[in-house]
C-alpha cells in the first residue's frame, strides 16, 4: 500500500471530519466519531481522519500509486466544499 498524509490547520477539524464521513456513509461503510474516522472507498483505497484542536490529519492508503493523486483530489474537493468559509492549506506528503 502507498501512503500519503496531509495535516490541515483548522479550528473546525472535528466538524469537517464528521461532515466528510456522513457524506460518504451513503456510499461506503464508514466508521467515525468526533475524533477519528475511516472511509474505505474500495478494496484498494481508504482514508483515515484524525481531528484535534490543531487541525485535521488525513492519511490516504492506496494499492495502486496511479490512484493516489486522483483520490487526494477527491478528498481535497470535498473538504473544501464543507470548509467554504475558510481557506485551507492542504499539502499531501508521501
**For every one of its 94 residues, what pLDDT tens digit does the chain have, with 9 covering 90 and above?**
899 999 999 999 999 999 999 999 999 999 999 999 999 999 999 999 999 999 999 999 999 999 999 999 999 999 999 999 999 999 999 8
Grid cell at residue 76? 481535497
Q: Which of 32, 58, 28, 25 is nearest to 43 (CA)?
A: 28
Instruction: Indicate the pTM of the whole model.
Output: 0.95
Grid cell at residue 52? 484535534
Positive or negative torsion for Cα 13, 32, 24, 48: positive
Cα diameter, the chain? 34
Concatenating the DSSP letter of every residue in 6-66 gives: EEEE-TTHHHHHHHHHHHHTTTS--EE-SSEEEEEEETTEEEEEEE-SSEEEEEEEESSHH
Amino acid at each position: 500500500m502507498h501512503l500519503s498524509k496531509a495535516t490541515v490547520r483548522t479550528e473546525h477539524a472535528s466538524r469537517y471530519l464528521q461532515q466528510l464521513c456522513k457524506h460518504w456513509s451513503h456510499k461506503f461503510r464508514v466508521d467515525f466519531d468526533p475524533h477519528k474516522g475511516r472511509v474505505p472507498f474500495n478494496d484498494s483505497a481508504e482514508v483515515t481522519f484524525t481531528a484535534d484542536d490543531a487541525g485535521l490529519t488525513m492519511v490516504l492508503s492506496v494499492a495502486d500509486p496511479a490512484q493516489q493523486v486522483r483520490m487526494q483530489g477527491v478528498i481535497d474537493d470535498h473538504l473544501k466544499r464543507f470548509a467554504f468559509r475558510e481557506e485551507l492549506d492542504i499539502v499531501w506528503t508521501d
